[in-house]
Amino acid sequence: MRFLLRPQSSPLSEASGLSAAVIGPRSLPRVCDPSSIPTHRSRARSARELRYNPCSSGKRFRMPNYQDGMEVRAGVEVAGMSDVGCQRQTNEDRYGYWEPSSDAEFEGKGRLAVVADGMGGHEGGQDASRIAVDAIQQLYATSRGDDPQALLTAAFHEAHARIHQFAAKHPELQGMGTTATAIVLRANRLYYCHIGDSRLYLVRGGRITRLTRDHSYVGSLVENGFITSEEAETHPQRHILMAALGAGQEFSPESPEHPIPLESGDVLLLCTDGLWGLVADEELAQTVAGMRPAEACRALIGLAKERGGHDNITVQVLRLD
């Protein structure tokens, strides 16, 4: 069981001087639909194929087409995949990819990718991640404007509001929420918006850089020098979040001060904690550097499951041509 917290005075933080208060349980992620999208350059390739599940004693599972075979324009190769893992009965992760059908709109909006990891119990987590991804994609796709960062931020606020509205209509789901990490690629510039402990990485020249912070209790302990990164990996409160969509009335999603320039060959990796909690950053970098995105997604999820797969596992990989 995991917990979602928001900043507030609490006995939990007396020893460290940090503040947090439990506002709801977090059962682990769900996947909108276990799905896979291998697409290369301007032609999307569907992946209706059976894959071996190392946690299920020979059982196999089907991965349906991602985004119904949406075509992806030249300039990037993208793949996404999600798996329930080895210990969960449901998948509360969700992910999505979108780009406009119109070339003129594409020049202004670029490409959008998002991952979310729901929490708040079995049904609450599934609904929260679904609402978040749907809202972010819908708002970004339909809003007017030429500032991707402003559009992303507005989409996050709308997702936050929709989760609150849904919880108000379903009192049994009070405390539901979700992490969310969304990126926009436009004209070789990266924009992103982030809250929670899903992650965004940039891999360039074989070196990996984490672009987002973990909005978690243990993450705050590390940032403030109370524990080391190594100690955080086994800390008993490492699953406690301090910020998420749907948590509290106000929130401030993380975003870069300026768009990040990208180069040919750069790889962007978005994932939930079911992956990065079991696969080290260096292993992530080596895998995406040596494989095409679809192969890398399968390999990374397989590696996490071989190591126990205690959580749902979701990853998207985008490689710039």
3-state secondary structure of 263: coil
CA 62 – CA 46 distance, rounded (Å): 12
Long-range contacts of 5-12 (CB under 8 A, 24+ apart): 5/217, 5/240, 5/241, 5/242, 5/247, 6/242, 6/243, 6/247, 6/248, 7/242, 7/243, 12/217, 12/237
Q: What is the pTM of this model?
A: 0.81
More confident residue, 120 or 294: 294
Query: Which has the closest alpha carbon to 191: 112, 107, 83?
Result: 112
Instruction: Write down the pLDDT at residue 133.
Output: 98
Question: 243-283 pLDDT, tens per residue?
Answer: 999 988 778 899 999 999 999 999 999 999 999 999 999 99
The single residue listed with the structure tokens 């990891």 is 117
CA 66 – CA 33 distance, rounded (Å): 9
Q: What number of H helices and E strands is found in the chain? A: 8, 17
Query: Which has the closest alpha carbon to 81: 308, 319, 310, 295?
Result: 295
- What average pLDDT is seen over the chain? 81
Position 3 pLDDT exceeds 90: no
Question: 17-36 pLDDT, tens per residue?
Answer: 333 333 333 433 333 333 33
Identify the DSSP state of 216.
Answer: B
Instruction: Write down the pLDDT at residue 319.
Output: 97
Region of poorest pLDDT, from 94-108, 162-176, 224-238, 246-260: 224-238
CA 182 – CA 314 distance, rounded (Å): 13
Question: 85-107 pLDDT, tens per residue?
Answer: 999 999 999 999 999 999 999 99
Q: How confident is the model at residue 69 (pLDDT cuts 50, 70, 90)?
A: low
Position 320 pLDDT exceeds 80: yes
Instruction: Write down the pLDDT at residue 55.
Output: 57
Sorted by where each starts, the structural domains of the chain and their CATH numbers stand as: 2-320 (3.60.40.10)
